[in-house]
Amino acid sequence: MQLKGVCIKFPRIALVSVRISLIVINSICTRDWFAACSHFVNLYNVLFGANARDRLFKVPISPMVQVIYNCDDFVVVAKPISISVHCDDNIQGFTALLSAQLSVHLYVVHRLDKVTSGLMIFAKSAQAAAEFGVLFEKHKIQKYYLAISQTKPRKKQGTVKGDMKKSRRSAWMLQNSQKNPAITRFLSQYIDGLRLFLLKPETGKTHQLRVALKSLGSAIYGDQIYNSKGSELQGESDASPDRCYLHAWQLVFCFRGQNFTFRNDPDQGHLFTSDSIAMALEQWADPDQLSWSKRA
């Protein structure tokens, strides 16, 4: 800050503390208690040191991550919204949080965006991580996502296919070319004035699903990057979205000769937790048996 020719430099710790404090306040305002608690812990560590919390509290105050499945080779967990997989500007990432909870070193084998909730796999050894890497590379792990939009798509089901190109800031855009295309198949149904999507990505590009739905004219509700009308919801014109409505719902794969199927219904966001959505999810309970568009 410049004041009458005098340059005042704020310590980095002060800037980081202010930034985290604002995130905590925003999380409380949006009732995202997991993020508020997690970022409060990060603020405490920045101010008083990484081990100060342990000296002051006899039990950790970090929120517990929901573990869906845990074995010697890998763990499947439910990632909440508003936390990055890795460290984000000195804010503890989801991987570190989970590693501390399980007291084991974890290997990241795939990622979810900060705004996305749902199922994630973490390997417990370099060998297991390498094997999962091959499965993902060969598209042997089937992923199913849920999304909600407040606008009608150009078509109710089908395939979105095209190359991805970096756009302004953090955004990506879909191209007409198909040299190395992102491929997303989708189904949808109309529920209570909203459009519920079941998404089946066959590639794993950055922001692939979010860009795919935007290209259909149905950007995800609450997506601050791709939905400029994110706060316009019928009957709630003055309300801000309580989350970005994208959730990693099911995982299906075979690891070392054993078949696995995991499902995690969303529990964050009032739109995701309505009775109407719950009924729709049961209709889609076995996605592999649904009528998807043909492979391109």
| Amino acid at site 129 | A
Q: What letter would DSSP give residue 49?
A: -
Helices (DSSP H) in the chain: which residue ranges? Answer: 12-29, 33-48, 52-56, 94-102, 126-137, 208-215, 275-283
Query: Quick check: is 286 catalytic?
Result: no
CA distances from 38 to 35, 45, 56, 89, 242 (A): 5, 11, 17, 14, 17
Are 182 and 164 within 8 A, CB to CB? yes
Q: From the centroid of its chain, how far is CA 149?
A: 16
Phi, psi at 255, each rounded to 5°:
-125, 120
| DSSP letters spanning 100-151 | HHHTS--EE-S---TT-EEEEEEESSHHHHHHHHHHHHTT-SEEEEEEEESS
d(CA 67, CA 41): 21
Marked catalytic residue, from 32, 72, 73, 113? 113
Name the residues annotated as catalytic. 113
